[in-house]
Structure 1
Amino acid sequence: MNTTEKKNAILEAFHTRHATKSFDPSKKISDDDFHFILETARLSPSSLGYEPWKFLIVQNTELREKLKKVSFGAQGQLSTASHFVIILAKSNARTDSDYVQSLMTDTKKVPSETLLQMNQAYRNFQENDLNLFENDRALFDWASKQTYIALGNMLTAAAQIGIDSCPIEGFNYEKVNEILDREGLLEDRSYQASVMAAFGYRIDEPSRVKSRREYDSVIQWIK
């Protein structure tokens, strides 16, 4: 496949993707295909490379039913999706947190002398440029924004291999967090729910043709 063919295939995936409200419950995504989707999430970029996320794949029917009661935007998806994902965001991804320091030394293998310089620069970025230390919500919201990068990559990757999906924000965040916390899934509240996504195969074609604002109304070149 040459470059033009690749671009056309990608754009075709964007044109055919839609927010699927109900899936065919008899059709399941293969383990290999869903692992591919999860890898695009895991390999996604994040601000400062902090990877402030965790991906819960909720296949347990009892837990899905509990979530359905507090997730108005996932009524059809929770009952029918082949795979249902809750993306968690790190509650505290401060530069000086144990999480970040462990990530930098143990995972990214940053040398100690380099890490010292990075810590100073990144703390200034978080504290002064973005004002993230004003309250805990600011830090969570910053981490939550990173999860949407991974979410977008998952939706696009799924569409490119013929798998349907739906991003979901329609849920009561406090009640969902309470449910997940009772299940022991938030690691002592070091994570919180950020966004959900359902994956599977559409049972019906969308009733409306996809429409978007025109190119010139959303894109402005500054020369």
Structure 2
Amino acid sequence: MTTVKNIEEKKQEILEAFSFRHACKEFDENQKISDSDFEFILETGRMSPSSFGYEPWKFVVIQNQELREKLLPVAWGAQGQLKTASHFVLVLSRNIKDMHFDSEYIKYMMNDVMEIPEEGQKMRYEFYKKFQESDFNLLESDRAVFEWASRQSYIALGNMMTSAAQIGIDSCPIEGFDKEKVEAILKEEGIIADNFELSVMAAFGYRKGAPMFAKTRKQMNEIVEWVK
């Protein structure tokens, strides 16, 4: 039975995890995340929400050291993490080829994954078409569709980092890389196809030392406005 005390304790645990989490630049190479713990982290990414429920992401876990070395020259923001992280993840997002309202991928999601009846699919198709064409004007450029899908992938990554922090695992999101050059390497390795692009990188592991700086944030009244 859930009690007020249970809820308050859980809230405190969650806030402690947020306080614990920081952008870890270097990890303890001697500590590895267990398979079960990392499966848990990936599961929280898989279960994350997405627009229309179309899950436009893919998580590529790079454990191959030779590939990590190849990425080093084109990922300036991941120099310490590529060398020391227990697990290194590339978060890919689907582009216009898959996310266009009339794509085979969208049909697959409605048919095979969501198992929506035919009449429901027709209605959802029209909603999604209008959303892309006029509500968000996504079809003005291929880049706009990728950026929209990419924003959703950040929701999944945020959930993965939070769930990791709740079990004492450190992480670091990374945008410091040459997108074109990284994607060229991934295509050369047969890792990325034309329907995906790289959104963000993330490293997971256990911190080597204490954070260099204390966590700072603006006060609540600086970032929240209530309209009553």
TM-score scaled by length of structure 2: 0.96
The 5 Å alignment of 1:106-125 reads 106-125=112-131
**TM superposition shift of 1:121:** 1.1
Distance 2:181 2:110 in 1: 33
Q: 1:175 aligns with which of 178, 181, 197?
A: 181
Check if 1:216 corresponds to 2:221.
yes
Check if 1:134 corresponds to 2:132.
no
What residue number does 2:51 align with? 47
**TM superposition shift of 1:95:** 1.6
**TM superposition shift of 1:12:** 0.4
Check if 1:4 corresponds to 2:38.
no
Please list the CA deviations of residues 19-39 of structure 1 after superposition, one character each: whole Å capped at 9, or x if unmatched.
Answer: 000000010000000000000
Distance 1:50 1:127 in 2: 17
Q: Which aligned segments of 4 or more residues in structure 1 are displaced greater than 4 angstroms?
A: none
Please list the CA deviations of residues 119-160 of structure 1 after superposition, one character each: whole Å capped at 9, or x if unmatched.
Answer: 011100111111111111011111101100001000000000
Distance 1:150 1:178 in 2: 24
Distance 1:131 1:79 in 2: 41
Aligned-residue Cα RMSD (Å) equals 0.8
Q: Report % sequence identity.
A: 57
The 5 Å alignment of 1:49-88 reads 49-88=53-92
Distance 2:118 2:182 in 1: 39
**TM superposition shift of 1:91:** 1.1
Number of paired residues? 222
The 5 Å alignment of 1:92-111 reads 92=96, 93-111=99-117
**TM superposition shift of 1:173:** 0.4
Secondary structure in 2 aligned to 1:148? helix
**TM superposition shift of 1:197:** 0.4
* Structure 1 unaligned blocks of 5 or more: none
Distance 2:126 2:20 in 1: 46
What residue number does 1:29 align with? 33
Distance 1:82 1:26 in 2: 9
TM-score scaled by length of structure 1: 0.98
Distance 1:207 1:125 in 2: 44
Distance 2:199 2:26 in 1: 22
What residue number does 1:161 align with? 167
Distance 1:105 1:95 in 2: 14
What residue number does 2:203 align with? 198
1:199 aligned partner, one-letter code: F
Distance 1:186 1:143 in 2: 16
Secondary structure in 1 aligned to 2:197? strand
* Structure 2 unaligned blocks of 5 or more: none
**TM superposition shift of 1:10:** 0.3
**TM superposition shift of 1:183:** 1.1
